[in-house]
Structure 1
Amino acid sequence: MNILRFAEQLNLSLLVDSTKEINIEGVYIGDLLSIVMSKAKQDYAWVTIQTHINIVAVAELLDLSCIIVAEGMEVDNDTVNKAKELDIPIFKTAESAYEVACRLYNLGVR
Protein backbone atom coordinates (compact mmCIF):
# COMPACT_ATOMS: atom_id res chain seq x y z
CA MET A 1 0.00 0.00 0.00
CA ASN A 2 1.19 3.52 -0.74
CA ILE A 3 2.43 5.28 2.39
CA LEU A 4 0.36 8.43 1.92
CA ARG A 5 -2.79 6.37 1.28
CA PHE A 6 -2.06 4.31 4.38
CA ALA A 7 -1.68 7.46 6.49
CA GLU A 8 -4.89 8.90 5.10
CA GLN A 9 -6.94 5.75 5.70
CA LEU A 10 -5.77 5.52 9.30
CA ASN A 11 -5.88 9.24 10.04
CA LEU A 12 -2.13 9.30 10.78
CA SER A 13 0.48 12.03 10.45
CA LEU A 14 3.54 10.93 8.50
CA LEU A 15 6.72 11.85 10.39
CA VAL A 16 9.21 9.83 8.35
CA ASP A 17 8.49 9.05 4.72
CA SER A 18 9.89 5.98 3.03
CA THR A 19 10.64 4.89 -0.50
CA LYS A 20 9.03 1.51 0.10
CA GLU A 21 5.44 0.38 -0.16
CA ILE A 22 3.79 -0.59 3.12
CA ASN A 23 3.04 -4.28 3.39
CA ILE A 24 1.31 -5.07 6.66
CA GLU A 25 0.82 -8.70 7.62
CA GLY A 26 -0.21 -8.02 11.21
CA VAL A 27 0.00 -5.55 14.05
CA TYR A 28 1.77 -5.63 17.38
CA ILE A 29 0.98 -3.24 20.22
CA GLY A 30 3.56 -2.93 22.96
CA ASP A 31 5.97 -0.61 24.68
CA LEU A 32 8.49 -2.91 26.35
CA LEU A 33 11.18 -3.35 23.70
CA SER A 34 12.33 -6.80 24.80
CA ILE A 35 8.77 -8.13 24.55
CA VAL A 36 8.25 -6.48 21.16
CA MET A 37 11.46 -8.14 19.94
CA SER A 38 10.22 -11.56 21.02
CA LYS A 39 6.62 -11.24 19.77
CA ALA A 40 6.38 -8.92 16.75
CA LYS A 41 7.02 -10.38 13.31
CA GLN A 42 8.37 -9.24 9.98
CA ASP A 43 6.00 -6.92 8.07
CA TYR A 44 3.99 -6.09 11.18
CA ALA A 45 2.95 -2.54 12.00
CA TRP A 46 4.12 -1.67 15.50
CA VAL A 47 1.95 0.61 17.63
CA THR A 48 3.72 2.10 20.65
CA ILE A 49 4.03 5.16 22.85
CA GLN A 50 7.83 4.83 22.94
CA THR A 51 9.65 7.54 21.00
CA HIS A 52 13.37 7.13 21.67
CA ILE A 53 15.89 6.04 19.05
CA ASN A 54 15.83 2.39 20.13
CA ILE A 55 12.40 1.90 18.53
CA VAL A 56 14.09 2.33 15.15
CA ALA A 57 16.67 -0.33 16.01
CA VAL A 58 13.90 -2.77 16.95
CA ALA A 59 11.97 -2.01 13.76
CA GLU A 60 15.09 -2.59 11.67
CA LEU A 61 16.02 -5.79 13.51
CA LEU A 62 12.58 -7.30 12.95
CA ASP A 63 12.01 -5.76 9.50
CA LEU A 64 8.74 -4.22 10.66
CA SER A 65 6.70 -2.40 8.03
CA CYS A 66 6.29 0.77 10.10
CA ILE A 67 6.11 2.34 13.54
CA ILE A 68 2.94 4.09 14.65
CA VAL A 69 3.37 6.33 17.69
CA ALA A 70 0.07 6.64 19.54
CA GLU A 71 -1.39 8.96 22.19
CA GLY A 72 0.11 12.09 20.57
CA MET A 73 3.58 11.38 21.95
CA GLU A 74 6.37 13.59 20.58
CA VAL A 75 9.04 11.69 18.67
CA ASP A 76 12.67 12.60 19.40
CA ASN A 77 14.64 14.27 16.59
CA ASP A 78 17.34 11.59 16.85
CA THR A 79 14.66 8.96 16.30
CA VAL A 80 13.31 10.72 13.22
CA ASN A 81 16.79 11.16 11.75
CA LYS A 82 17.74 7.51 12.31
CA ALA A 83 14.45 6.32 10.78
CA LYS A 84 15.12 8.47 7.70
CA GLU A 85 18.61 7.01 7.43
CA LEU A 86 17.25 3.44 7.61
CA ASP A 87 14.13 4.12 5.48
CA ILE A 88 11.70 3.11 8.23
CA PRO A 89 8.37 4.95 8.13
CA ILE A 90 7.11 6.51 11.34
CA PHE A 91 3.57 7.73 11.79
CA LYS A 92 1.99 9.64 14.65
CA THR A 93 -1.57 9.85 15.93
CA ALA A 94 -3.42 11.35 18.87
CA GLU A 95 -5.54 8.21 19.02
CA SER A 96 -4.99 5.34 21.43
CA ALA A 97 -3.27 2.13 20.41
CA TYR A 98 -6.65 0.40 20.65
CA GLU A 99 -8.23 2.87 18.21
CA VAL A 100 -5.35 2.37 15.76
CA ALA A 101 -5.70 -1.40 16.04
CA CYS A 102 -9.42 -1.14 15.31
CA ARG A 103 -8.72 0.92 12.19
CA LEU A 104 -6.13 -1.61 11.03
CA TYR A 105 -8.62 -4.42 11.62
CA ASN A 106 -11.22 -2.55 9.55
CA LEU A 107 -8.65 -2.37 6.73
CA GLY A 108 -8.35 -6.15 6.83
CA VAL A 109 -5.15 -6.47 8.87
CA ARG A 110 -5.39 -9.57 11.03
Structure 2
Amino acid sequence: MKVSDLIEQLNLEVISGEKGLDREVTGAYVSDLLSDVMGNARESQMWITLQVHQNVMAIASLKDLAAVILVKGLRPHESTIRHSNDEQIPILSTTDSTFEISGKLFELLKKEGCLA
Protein backbone atom coordinates (compact mmCIF):
# COMPACT_ATOMS: atom_id res chain seq x y z
CA MET A 1 0.00 0.00 0.00
CA LYS A 2 1.28 3.47 -0.83
CA VAL A 3 1.29 6.57 1.34
CA SER A 4 -1.18 8.16 -1.09
CA ASP A 5 -3.63 5.29 -0.49
CA LEU A 6 -3.68 5.97 3.23
CA ILE A 7 -4.28 9.72 3.13
CA GLU A 8 -8.01 9.67 2.37
CA GLN A 9 -8.73 6.51 4.33
CA LEU A 10 -7.16 7.94 7.50
CA ASN A 11 -8.24 11.55 6.88
CA LEU A 12 -4.62 12.78 6.84
CA GLU A 13 -3.50 16.21 5.70
CA VAL A 14 -0.44 16.40 3.46
CA ILE A 15 1.86 19.13 4.75
CA SER A 16 4.96 18.54 2.64
CA GLY A 17 6.97 15.99 0.71
CA GLU A 18 4.31 15.45 -1.94
CA LYS A 19 6.83 13.87 -4.33
CA GLY A 20 7.10 10.94 -1.93
CA LEU A 21 3.43 10.02 -1.82
CA ASP A 22 4.08 6.92 -3.94
CA ARG A 23 6.34 5.38 -1.27
CA GLU A 24 5.33 1.88 -0.16
CA VAL A 25 4.24 1.40 3.46
CA THR A 26 5.05 -1.83 5.31
CA GLY A 27 4.02 -0.83 8.82
CA ALA A 28 4.55 1.89 11.37
CA TYR A 29 6.70 2.84 14.31
CA VAL A 30 5.41 4.96 17.18
CA SER A 31 7.83 6.91 19.34
CA ASP A 32 8.73 10.44 20.34
CA LEU A 33 12.29 9.50 21.30
CA LEU A 34 14.58 10.06 18.31
CA SER A 35 17.22 7.56 19.44
CA ASP A 36 14.51 4.90 19.79
CA VAL A 37 13.30 5.49 16.23
CA MET A 38 16.88 5.53 14.94
CA GLY A 39 17.56 2.19 16.60
CA ASN A 40 14.31 0.37 15.92
CA ALA A 41 12.25 1.77 13.02
CA ARG A 42 12.50 -0.14 9.76
CA GLU A 43 12.65 1.01 6.17
CA SER A 44 9.28 1.82 4.58
CA GLN A 45 7.47 2.23 7.89
CA MET A 46 5.44 5.31 8.75
CA TRP A 47 6.59 7.16 11.87
CA ILE A 48 3.91 8.46 14.20
CA THR A 49 5.15 11.23 16.51
CA LEU A 50 4.52 14.60 18.10
CA GLN A 51 8.05 15.85 17.34
CA VAL A 52 8.05 18.75 14.86
CA HIS A 53 11.70 19.88 14.55
CA GLN A 54 14.00 19.20 11.60
CA ASN A 55 15.82 16.31 13.32
CA VAL A 56 12.67 14.29 12.63
CA MET A 57 13.48 14.45 8.93
CA ALA A 58 17.13 13.56 9.52
CA ILE A 59 16.00 10.33 11.21
CA ALA A 60 13.28 9.67 8.61
CA SER A 61 15.84 10.03 5.84
CA LEU A 62 18.47 7.93 7.60
CA LYS A 63 15.96 5.10 8.12
CA ASP A 64 14.32 5.58 4.68
CA LEU A 65 10.87 5.83 6.26
CA ALA A 66 7.78 6.08 4.08
CA ALA A 67 6.29 9.13 5.84
CA VAL A 68 5.93 10.94 9.14
CA ILE A 69 2.51 11.41 10.76
CA LEU A 70 2.21 14.28 13.25
CA VAL A 71 -0.55 13.80 15.82
CA LYS A 72 -2.99 16.15 17.59
CA GLY A 73 -2.96 18.68 14.74
CA LEU A 74 0.67 19.61 15.35
CA ARG A 75 2.50 21.57 12.65
CA PRO A 76 6.17 21.11 11.73
CA HIS A 77 8.76 23.89 11.82
CA GLU A 78 9.51 25.57 8.48
CA SER A 79 12.96 23.94 8.40
CA THR A 80 11.30 20.55 8.84
CA ILE A 81 9.01 21.24 5.88
CA ARG A 82 11.96 22.23 3.69
CA HIS A 83 13.86 19.07 4.69
CA SER A 84 10.76 16.95 3.96
CA ASN A 85 10.48 18.41 0.47
CA ASP A 86 14.22 17.95 -0.17
CA GLU A 87 14.13 14.30 0.96
CA GLN A 88 10.75 13.61 -0.68
CA ILE A 89 9.46 12.06 2.54
CA PRO A 90 5.91 13.21 3.26
CA ILE A 91 4.89 14.86 6.48
CA LEU A 92 1.22 14.19 7.20
CA SER A 93 -0.94 15.55 9.97
CA THR A 94 -3.94 14.27 11.87
CA THR A 95 -6.06 15.67 14.67
CA ASP A 96 -6.19 12.17 16.14
CA SER A 97 -4.20 11.24 19.22
CA THR A 98 -1.24 8.88 18.89
CA PHE A 99 -3.39 6.05 20.25
CA GLU A 100 -6.23 6.68 17.79
CA ILE A 101 -4.15 6.99 14.60
CA SER A 102 -1.97 4.02 15.57
CA GLY A 103 -5.02 1.80 15.96
CA LYS A 104 -6.58 2.97 12.70
CA LEU A 105 -3.35 2.50 10.76
CA PHE A 106 -2.73 -0.93 12.24
CA GLU A 107 -6.22 -2.16 11.35
CA LEU A 108 -6.02 -0.78 7.82
CA LEU A 109 -2.58 -2.27 7.09
CA LYS A 110 -3.59 -5.59 8.65
CA LYS A 111 -6.76 -5.72 6.54
CA GLU A 112 -4.78 -4.98 3.38
CA GLY A 113 -2.06 -7.53 4.26
CA CYS A 114 0.65 -4.86 4.21
CA LEU A 115 2.36 -5.53 7.52
CA ALA A 116 5.96 -6.71 7.18
| TM-score normalised by L of structure 1 | 0.91
For the pair 1:83 / 2:60, whether they are aligned, the reply is no
State how far apart, in whole Å, the 1-side matches of 2:105 and 2:61 are: 21
Corresponding letter in the other structure for 2:70: V
Identity of aligned residues (%): 33
State how far apart, in whole Å, the 1-side matches of 2:21 and 2:69 are: 16
Q: What CA deviation, in whole Å up to 9, does each residue of 1:53-110 have, x standing for no partner?
A: 0000000000000000011112111100111011111100110111111111221244
Structure 2: any 5+ residue segments left out of the alignment? none
The answer for the alignment partner of 2:8 in structure 1 is 8
| TM-score normalised by L of structure 2 | 0.87
The answer for the alignment partner of 1:67 in structure 2 is 68
- Contact 2:72 2:97 (C-alpha < 8 Å) held by counterparts: yes
Q: In structure 2, do the counterparts of structure 1 residues 19 and 74 end up closer, same or farther at CA, with 3 Å as the change threshold?
A: closer
Corresponding letter in the other structure for 1:75: P
Corresponding letter in the other structure for 2:51: Q
Q: SS at 1:41's partner residue? A: coil
Q: In structure 2, do the counterparts of structure 1 residues 30 and 85 end up closer, same or farther at CA, with 3 Å as the change threshold?
A: same
Q: SS at 1:107's partner residue? A: helix
Q: In structure 2, do the counterparts of structure 1 residues 81 and 96 end up closer, same or farther at CA, with 3 Å as the change threshold?
A: same
For the pair 1:54 / 2:55, whether they are aligned, the reply is yes
Deviation at 1:4, TM superposition (A): 3.8
- Contact 1:3 1:18 (C-alpha < 8 Å) held by counterparts: no
Deviation at 1:18, TM superposition (A): 2.0
Q: 4+ residue runs of structure 1 moved beyond 2 angstroms?
A: 1-5
More displaced 10-residue stretch of structure 1: 3-12 or 52-61: 3-12
Q: SS at 1:28's partner residue? A: strand
Structure 1: any 5+ residue segments left out of the alignment? none
Q: In structure 2, do the counterparts of structure 1 residues 104 and 72 end up closer, same or farther at CA, with 3 Å as the change threshold?
A: same
RMSD: 1.4
Q: In structure 2, do the counterparts of structure 1 residues 19 and 43 end up closer, same or farther at CA, with 3 Å as the change threshold?
A: closer
Corresponding letter in the other structure for 1:14: V
In the comparison of the two structures, how many residue pairs are matched?
110
